[in-house]
Amino acid sequence: MALDEVVDTERYPLADPGGSAWRATVERTRAELADVGCSVLADFVRPSFQERLRAECARIAPLAHGEVERVNAYNIAVDTPLPADHPGRVVMERGNAFVARDHIPAGSALQVLYTSPVFQRFVADCFSLPVLHELADPLSGLCLNVIAPGRAHPWHFDTNEFTVSMLTQEADEGGTFEYCPNIRSAEAENFDDVAAVLDGRGERLVRRLELRPGDLQLFLGRFALHRVSTVGGERARHTAIFAYSQRPGVVGSPERTRQLFGRVLPEHEAAHLVRGDQLLD
């Protein structure tokens, strides 16, 4: 499968790296990321290919590891000793599930996109990075996030500074992406505003996106509190997550990997966890 079968390369000129149309798209995306920490490239996947992509992901969705958990926004242990008014003491239910990369067929559209050097260069350019690397993690480098009806992905921060994702199947109802851009920084946790959002006093800080299948979303999720609201109706919400790093060889921790995928591999047991900041998580 060729990249231009999947991507609308007339609208998003990946065939001309560094060309004028490429630069215009990158500059627009960078401006949106700088302004609100999020940019959506509508119909990045060709409309004619979107049903094929949806079906491809729907076939593997039953392979998702799902275990409803009690979590907090920082994905640290819910019994971590914290002050009484700390937002990390707010416990929520996480009901989304993940299909690991080793369950995603090698010739699938998701794998074609994720491993494409020109796609990686484009994403790096949009994030103003010199280069991006695929995660060396055999499970979390590329995965499918599945939120079944009645479930949600509650408020949280990402461990990676930037996130690349694509909705592949809409829910019948709900499943809205909500986020609070730049609610914290690498230097400041800003616990007061985080607590306000978690207890319903922070509506002024919340933005909402109605994403559509085939939209490519670039997001600064390390500093933006975000969630996907409860899914309703009969159909699950599916989102592909393309995980990259600025460093080669990155592998997830055994604890987090077991939480998300229900298993670990030798690569995880040997991993050395590295953080670029001192935030809680």
pLDDT digits (tens, 9 = 90+) for 79-128: 999 999 999 999 999 999 999 999 999 999 999 999 999 999 999 999 99
22 has a pLDDT exceeding 90: yes
| pLDDT of the residue at 177 | 97
The CA-atom distances, in angstroms, between 124 and each of 128, 168, 235, 268 are 6, 22, 33, 26
What pTM value is reported for the model? 0.92
| pLDDT of the residue at 39 | 97
pLDDT digits (tens, 9 = 90+) for 195-208: 999 999 999 999 99
Q: What is the mean pLDDT of residues 266-276?
A: 68
Q: How many CB atoms lie within 10 A of CB 174?
A: 17
| pLDDT of the residue at 204 | 96
Q: What is the mean pLDDT of residues 3-13?
A: 94
Sequence-distant (6+) residues with CB within 8 A of 27 are none
| pLDDT of the residue at 279 | 72
Determine the Cα–Cα distance for residues 87 and 91; give it in Å rounded to an integer. 9
Q: Please check whether residue 242 is in contact with residue 164, taking contact to mean a CB–CB distance below 8 angstroms.
A: yes
240 or 138: whose pLDDT is higher?
Answer: 240
pLDDT digits (tens, 9 = 90+) for 152-175: 999 999 888 889 999 999 999 999
Sequence-distant (6+) residues with CB within 8 A of 126 are 25, 26, 29, 30, 33, 39, 218
Determine the Cα–Cα distance for residues 192 and 85; give it in Å rounded to an integer. 9
**Lowest model confidence (mean pLDDT) among 71-85, 160-174, 231-245, 250-264:** 250-264
Strand partners, 38: 219
Determine the Cα–Cα distance for residues 81 and 95; give it in Å rounded to an integer. 24
18 has a pLDDT exceeding 80: yes
- Tokens for 61, please give them: 């969705």
DSSP assignment of 23-71, as one string?
HHHHHHHHHHHHHHSEEEETT-B-GGGHHHHHHHHHHHGGG-B---EEE
- Tokens for 79, please give them: 């019994």
Supply the DSSP symbol for 12.
S
| pLDDT of the residue at 68 | 87
| pLDDT of the residue at 158 | 87
E strand residue ranges, the chain: 38-41, 69-71, 92-94, 97-99, 133-134, 142-147, 153-156, 163-169, 173-174, 177-180, 207-209, 216-219, 225-228, 231-232, 237-242, 244-245
